């Protein structure tokens, strides 16, 4: 009779693993939702949507539901070593800012919010 070591025998489940998806970590989501809340308070945004795929996580903010997003923020980790994994897109899909740091990419929206509050 073989001696029992007490350690469980772990066998990998056959088949493919489910696809991984890119997401926002807690600090990133807190930063994004904080800006969203301030833009809602300023009357600029009223709705948002998030999408998570294998390649990117997306946060989009809308002036009104059923419109094109006023801004779209993408996190693409595959671009981390290139131009940066963060990209901010405008209403027409134009790239407003790219970078390695979320705070730098959100800066144009932060500046716009300051102008809205000062008015």
**pLDDT digit string, tens, across residues 1-12:** 455 555 566 655
* pLDDT value of residue 114: 76
Domain boundaries, the chain: 20-71
Residue 8: count of CB within 10 angstroms of its CB: 6
Q: By the 8 A CB rule, do 49 and 72 touch?
A: no
Mind giving me the DSSP string for the chain?
Answer: -PPP-S-----PPSSPPPPP-----HHHHHHHHHHHHHHHHTTS--EEEEEE-SS-EEEEEESSTTS--SEEEEE-GGGTTTT-SEEEE-TTS-EEEEES-HHHHHHHHHHHHHHHHH-
CA-based R_g, the chain, Å: 20
pLDDT digits (tens, 9 = 90+) for 50-106: 999 999 999 999 987 767 899 999 999 988 889 899 999 998 889 999 999 999 999
- The pTM assigned to this predicted structure is 0.78
How far apart, in whole angstroms, are the C-alpha atoms of residue 42 and residue 6?
A: 61
């Amino acid at each position: 009779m073989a001696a029992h070591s007490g350690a469980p025998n772990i066998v990998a489940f056959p088949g493919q693993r489910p696809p991984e998806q890119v997401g926002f970590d807690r600090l990133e989501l807190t930063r994004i939702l904080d800006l969203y809340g301030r833009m809602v308070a300023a009357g600029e945004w009223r709705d948002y949507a998030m999408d998570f795929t294998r390649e990117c996580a997306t946060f989009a903010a809308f002036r009104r539901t059923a419109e094109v997003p006023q801004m779209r923020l993408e996190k693409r980790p595959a671009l981390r070593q290139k131009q940066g994994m963060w990209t901010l897109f405008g209403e027409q899909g134009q790239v407003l800012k790219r970078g390695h740091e979320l705070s730098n990419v959100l800066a144009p929206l932060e500046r716009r919010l300051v102008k809205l509050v000062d008015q």
